[in-house]
Amino acid sequence: MLQRQADRYGNRAFVTCGGVSWTFAETAEVARSWGQRLSDAGIGAGDRVLIHCGNRAEFLQAYLGITWIGAIATPVNTAFRGAQLAHVLANARPKLLIVEEQFQPAYDDLGKDAQLPPLLWPITADGIQTSGSTAHPALSGAAPVQPGDIAAILYTSGTTGPSKGVCCPQAQFFWWGIYSARALGVREGDVLMTALPVFHTNALNAFYQALLLGCEYVLVPKFSASGYWKTAADCGATVTYLLGAMAAILMAQPERPQDRQHAIRTALGGGVPARLQDPFHHRFGIPLVDGYASTESNFLFYNRYPSARPGSMGKLAKGAEAIVADEHDMPVPDGTAGELLLRPTEPHSFASGYFGMPEKTVEAWANLWFHTGDRVVRHPDGHFNFIDRMKDAIRRRGENVSSWEVEQAIMTHDRVEACAVYPVPSELGEDEVATAIQLKDGQSLPPLALIQYLETRLAHFAVPRFVRLMEAMPLTENGKIKKVVLREEGIVPGMWDLETTGYKIKR
């Protein structure tokens, strides 16, 4: 794809990131040259290369080089720490780790039992520092990959277990670009600006949108509410990408003249509450496109502004079949809630499974349907509405939080007898992480001390905001904690709130 588009668009601007700019032709040469370096280091087709890096040009250099030679890019969430990071290493078994210097201590803290790869390339202020190279034959072109070959493994938080590595084929990224551009109305020559983390599907698929449509891809180092519109104006952005909390944060900023001094024509607004869509459009002049997608599937539901059903997922677009099913995978009538099951109509346009987890793959793709784990309802007019997750998951600031992983970290504290982690509503939309704690007899544990204990063991977004100390947990007849009771009670009087302390989680 890249070589074909480089031949077509040549010196047209393509990638801009942190002061670095490449044309289409230059980007193809970046891919070839970094593919050569990787090949010289012994990396070949099918080898996993872990990339632990923020939104910077070095991420793209590594990603392009890896995919150019048919190896498998394995980005890791930059917030992963402790057991989460150790699990990714053990599951992916990478041959090379490319890591930004600021994140290197997370690996040093894992201890001697960590399954570190044999090769390490640090990213310093001077770029990626390569090592272990032996001259190999010069690459004449990209590896002859097939549509079903894995391009990347993207780790998503589990619900009742550790993170799963989603195997994303080459063709899935092609269709991500096509389907997302269709939903947003992207057209040739647009400037696509994203501040979302590039280790997630959203920012990666914006790259493919730009590649396929002949657009410019602007990767912003990080989201800044106060500077967002100036950045958009400076780069000439015409399309941008927001998640629910980001839109709420932008709306909370003081009104400024820059609010409308931009060229943005449309924006992804996934998860933006219906109540914010009119005010957002009135203030910033940007219609938001809501929708539904997952790392395992694709962007197949979208709902453009203005909508007859604001806040809904929209209608199913061409590219997949969908049913709302009961616990036996049988369709339920319109207006009845059930699990959303999806099946692609284009080969390899969905993920091919979970890396190294065959039992989870079989479970998720049972009966030849991908089981999303999302409870939805279909209306007679064809619109779908998301209700909640079927299992115990939390969505915070655009990140999936595994309650299981947080609970495992809490239970390593020697003063904790039992705990439950669950979502409570956030004033910014989505969820906040709450935990109920039962201490061992005779023990005390200030909530802030617990938070300080957890911040070195969990991603910053997974550290609970609310702590509820319990004399005893609500239990089922079988002795399991009744989380439904805790969720329904929500934020109760006297519940400890990190936001009121002024303490800032270390990142």
pLDDT digit string (tens) for 129-174? Answer: 998 777 777 887 889 999 999 999 999 865 556 889 999 999 999 9
Domain-embedded: residue 153: no
25-57 burial, b at 16+ Cβ within 10 Å, e below that, comes to bbbbebbbebbbbbbbbebeeebbbbbbbbbbb
Longest dimension (CA), the chain: 72
Beta bridge partners of 98: 51, 121
| Range with lowest mean pLDDT among 269-278, 369-378, 394-403, 472-481 | 472-481
pLDDT at 477: 53
Residues 416, 469: Cα–Cα separation, whole Å: 10
Do 97 and 200 belong together in one domain? no
pLDDT at 158: 59
| CATH number of residue 387's parent domain | 3.40.50.12780
Residues 349, 386: Cα–Cα separation, whole Å: 22
Residues 192, 173: Cα–Cα separation, whole Å: 17
Domain-embedded: residue 345: yes
Residues 406, 420: Cα–Cα separation, whole Å: 9
- For residue 82, what is the enclosing H or E element? helix 82-92
Domain-terminating residue out of 350, 376, 391: 391
- Of 299, 15, 344, the C-alpha closest to 177 is 299
How many residues in total does the chain contain? 507
In angstroms, the first-to-last Cα distance of the chain is 36
Domain-embedded: residue 506: no
CA–CA distances in Å: residue 314 to residues 199, 245, 270, 302, 375:
26, 20, 11, 5, 15
Non-local CB neighbours of 466 within 8 Å, separated by 6+ positions? 424, 432, 433, 434, 435, 491, 495, 496, 497, 498
Give the pLDDT confidence of 174-232 residue by residue, as tens digits: 999 999 999 999 999 999 999 999 999 999 999 999 999 999 999 999 999 999 999 99
pLDDT at 433: 95
Do 252 and 353 belong together in one domain? yes
Domain-embedded: residue 156: no
Vertex 383 angle, CA 343 and 328, to 5°: 45
- Of 166, 156, 241, 233, the C-alpha closest to 196 is 241
| CATH number of residue 18's parent domain | 3.40.50.980
Do 367 and 412 belong together in one domain? no
Residue whose token pair is 């197949």: 300
- Average pLDDT, integer, range 29-45: 96
CB-based contact 99:123 (threshold 8 Å): yes
Do 209 and 291 belong together in one domain? yes
- Number of Cβ atoms within 10 Å of the Cβ of 109: 14
pLDDT at 132: 79
Domain-terminating residue out of 391, 421, 450: 391
Do 382 and 438 belong together in one domain? no
pLDDT of 272 above 60: yes
Give the pLDDT confidence of 44-65 residue by residue, as tens digits: 999 999 999 999 999 999 999 9
Q: Domain limits at 421?
A: 395-500
Q: Residue 251's Cα: distance from chain center in Å?
A: 23
Do 313 and 245 belong together in one domain? yes
Domain-embedded: residue 476: yes
**HEC string for 236-290:** CCCEEEEEHHHHHHHHHCCCCHHHHCCCCCEEEEECCCHHHHHHHHHHHCCCEEE
Do 345 and 420 belong together in one domain? no
Residues 170, 149: Cα–Cα separation, whole Å: 6
pLDDT at 480: 67
Do 415 and 357 belong together in one domain? no
pLDDT of 87 above 60: yes
Non-local CB neighbours of 293 within 8 Å, separated by 6+ positions? 201, 270, 299, 300, 301
Q: Number of folded domains in the chain?
A: 3
Domain-embedded: residue 150: no
Residues 254, 198: Cα–Cα separation, whole Å: 28
Q: In this prediction, what percent of the chain has a pLDDT beyond 70?
A: 97
pLDDT of 393 above 90: no
- Average pLDDT, integer, range 388-413: 82
The pTM score is 0.83
Most confident stretch, 235-239, 311-315, 457-461? 235-239
pLDDT of 390 above 80: no
- Average pLDDT, integer, range 285-307: 94
Any idea what DSSP says for residue 98?
E
Domain-terminating residue out of 391, 414, 446: 391
Do 114 and 203 belong together in one domain? no
pLDDT at 392: 66
* Assigned token pair, 152: 């990347």
Do 128 and 26 belong together in one domain? yes
| Position 297 confidence tier, pLDDT thresholds 50, 70, 90 | very high
Domain-embedded: residue 158: no
H helix intervals, 185-252: 201-213, 228-235, 244-252
pLDDT at 64: 98
* CA contacts within 13 A on the Cβ side of 335: 2
pLDDT at 200: 92
Higher pLDDT among residues 475 and 246, named by residue: 246
| Position 369 confidence tier, pLDDT thresholds 50, 70, 90 | very high
Give the pLDDT confidence of 202-216 residue by residue, as tens digits: 999 999 999 999 999
| CATH number of residue 425's parent domain | 3.30.300.30
- Average pLDDT, integer, range 441-451: 94
Do 117 and 261 belong together in one domain? no
Domain-embedded: residue 155: no
Give the pLDDT confidence of 305-339 residue by residue, as tens digits: 998 888 899 999 999 999 999 999 999 999 888 99
Do 323 and 408 belong together in one domain? no
Q: Is 382 left (phi over 0), alpha (psi -120 to 50) or beta?
A: left
Give the pLDDT confidence of 67-81 residue by residue, as tens digits: 999 999 999 999 898
Cis ω before 306 (30° cut-off from 0): yes
| Position 9 confidence tier, pLDDT thresholds 50, 70, 90 | very high
